[in-house]
Amino acid sequence: MLTYEPDLDPEDWETSRKLAHHMLDDMFDLLAQAKQGPAWRPIPAEIQAAIREPIPMEAQGLEKVYRDYSDQVLPYSTGNRHPRFFGWVMGTGTVTGMLAEMLKAASNPHMGGFNHSALHVEIEVLRWLSLLLGFPENSSGILVGGGSMANMNGLAVARQQKAPWDVRAEGMFGQPQLTVYASSETHNWLIKACELMGLGRRAIRFIPVNQQGQMDLDSCRTQIQTDLRQGVHPFCIIGNAGTTSTGSIDDLVGQRALANEFGLWFHVDGALGSLAALAPRGAALVQGQELADSLAFDLHKWGYLPFEVACILVRDPQAHRATFAQAPAYLVSADRGISKGTTFFADRGYELSREFRALKVWMALKERGVRHLGEVIQKNIDQSFYLGRLVENHAAFELLSPVCLNVVCFRYNPGGLSEAELEAVNRETLLRIQEQGIAIPSHARIHDQFAIRVCNTNHRTRFSDMDLLLTEIHQMAKKVVREMNLGKE
């Protein structure tokens, strides 16, 4: 008989429990004090060196591992917990989200399918999200790791539905070219997805945008007509409910009509902006997204939840299934027991083993209620318009793109500086603001000008943070101008 039967449970449950409580207290302190300290700090060389260590073949113990985490990892995180983190498009995270992650990992259900209650939570969450975003209650959907994955899921359904041959059987080899139409402001998930799906980058027709950053529908129509004349197969129009650089929202109603005109699939990328629909005055901003055949959006951005969770909704459940469903013998369901036929999420996407992402969404929506969440989203919209007005009313600043949602692009421009100098000053100012941990805006290029970009998906931000941000950028920019000997201000 074997006497050595190792497992991975704690050697001493009581000691582990105490340490776990201590960790939880630390994490509560961390989040309660998220406003304190810098928004970001560089990783010292000695910390990087300390993280690099020999493969830990022998036990170090949880206490030591937690100490290493606290000393080496936690202080140098991206900083998106902080109320003045406005870079790229990142959510802030919430206390409930953190707790949900712990509960999820403890119960650790498999969300590919099977007969268990967690599956019903995801089904319910998808039903709520469908209704909240104006999709039919019986839409299909799935929670995935991020907006890129959600969008690719939608594009795959579009291709399966609209290709004039059986894409799943034949693939793309030797077939006519398929083409997809998206504004030039579309996020690069589209390029990656077309490369991965074998469509190739040449499948993408990037359509120019108007002054508001919206797809020019006439150019799109002309391009489709040209493509049709040349014998290629247009299959999908992509609308943006919030572009990454400026938050612009395409004319989604117009895009739906254009897609109908040519019998194309209409997919909306709402990774950044779709959840505006929950805000009291936000639904009008993203009007038309509810008309899409498929809609992708992130909950780890403007839903404030911890990474990773995004959603794809597909209006026609059959179309969704027809793209991904397979029935290998080892997954065929029984009529009783744990493999009794239920919703098989693996039939709605690429992944088989899946985590219980729905738990944090379910808990977040139930705990504070959708109305409250909508008010927080509305606050971010109002704060962004507020910052836009501060910029417009400030003689030393210039707004580079109209504010239409939660993104503000601007630059320091006191007058008298060349374009090259403006770029150098604004770039240096931004880097110093980031490096000193004052705030984390990111940057964008607007009409070939370097912009400081503030994207507000931060539930901790106060209006006063916007005042402080602009004051600090102003002081810093003046200093940079002086140091660069540019002779102004």
Ligand X SMILES: Cc1ncc(COP(=O)(O)O)c(C=O)c1O
How far apart (Å, rounded) are the C-alpha atoms in residues 486 and 483?
8
Query: By C-beta, is 403 or 425 nearer to ligand X?
Result: 403
How far apart (Å, rounded) are the C-alpha atoms in residues 296 and 300?
12
Contact between residue 126 and residue 313 where contact means Cβ atoms under 8 Å apart: yes
Structure tokens at 34: 């998220």
Query: By C-beta, is 146 or 414 nearer to ligand X?
Result: 146
Query: By C-beta, is 151 or 434 nearer to ligand X?
Result: 151
- Choices 140-148, 351-359, 387-395, 415-423; region in contact with ligand X by CB under 6 A: 140-148
Which one of residues 80, 94, 148, 434 is an interface residue with ligand X (CB under 6 A)?
Answer: 148
The CB-of-189 to ligand X minimum distance in angstroms stands at: 5
Query: By C-beta, is 17 or 201 nearer to ligand X?
Result: 201
Query: By C-beta, is 213 or 414 nearer to ligand X?
Result: 213
Residue that has been written with the tokens 């429990």 in this structure:
17
Q: Assess 465 for contact with ligand X (CB under 6 A).
A: no
How far apart (Å, rounded) are the C-alpha atoms in residues 362 and 104?
12
The CB-of-166 to ligand X minimum distance in angstroms stands at: 29
Structure tokens at 229: 């004349």
The CB-of-314 to ligand X minimum distance in angstroms stands at: 17
Q: Assess 187 for contact with ligand X (CB under 6 A).
A: yes
CA 369 to chain centre: 21
Q: 216 to 255, contacts with ligand X by CB under 6 A?
A: 242-244
- Choices 23-31, 269-277, 326-334, 425-433; region in contact with ligand X by CB under 6 A: 269-277
Which one of residues 79, 147, 288, 374 is an interface residue with ligand X (CB under 6 A)?
Answer: 147
The CB-of-250 to ligand X minimum distance in angstroms stands at: 11
The CB-of-91 to ligand X minimum distance in angstroms stands at: 9
Contact between residue 403 and residue 385 where contact means Cβ atoms under 8 Å apart: yes
| Cα angle 431, 434, 435; round to 5 | 80
The CB-of-89 to ligand X minimum distance in angstroms stands at: 4
Query: By C-beta, is 189 or 412 nearer to ligand X?
Result: 189
Structure tokens at 234: 């247009």
Residues 6+ apart with CB under 8 A from 402: 211, 212, 246, 388
- Choices 37-45, 145-153, 316-324, 405-413; region in contact with ligand X by CB under 6 A: 145-153
Which one of residues 298, 347, 355, 398 is an interface residue with ligand X (CB under 6 A)?
Answer: 298
Query: By C-beta, is 227 or 298 nearer to ligand X?
Result: 298
Per-residue contact string for residues 300-339; x = within reach of ligand X by CB under 6 A = ----------x-----------------------------
Kindly determine how many residues on this chain lie close enough to bind ligand X according to the rule CB under 6 A. Answer: 16
Which one of residues 146, 234, 247, 303 is an interface residue with ligand X (CB under 6 A)?
Answer: 146
Per-residue contact string for residues 66-95; x = within reach of ligand X by CB under 6 A = ----------------------xx------
- Choices 97-105, 173-181, 246-254, 266-274; region in contact with ligand X by CB under 6 A: 266-274
The CB-of-349 to ligand X minimum distance in angstroms stands at: 14
Q: Assess 189 for contact with ligand X (CB under 6 A).
A: yes
How far apart (Å, rounded) are the C-alpha atoms in residues 474 and 485?
17
Give the sheet arrangement for strand 442-446, strand by strand.
397-399, 407-412, 449-455, 442-446
Query: By C-beta, is 279 or 310 nearer to ligand X?
Result: 310
Which residue minimizes CB distance to ligand X? Answer: 147
Structure tokens at 156: 């795959």
- Choices 117-125, 143-151, 162-170, 323-331; region in contact with ligand X by CB under 6 A: 143-151
Which residues here bind ligand X, judged by CB under 6 A? 88-89, 146-148, 151, 187, 189, 242-244, 269, 271-272, 298, 310
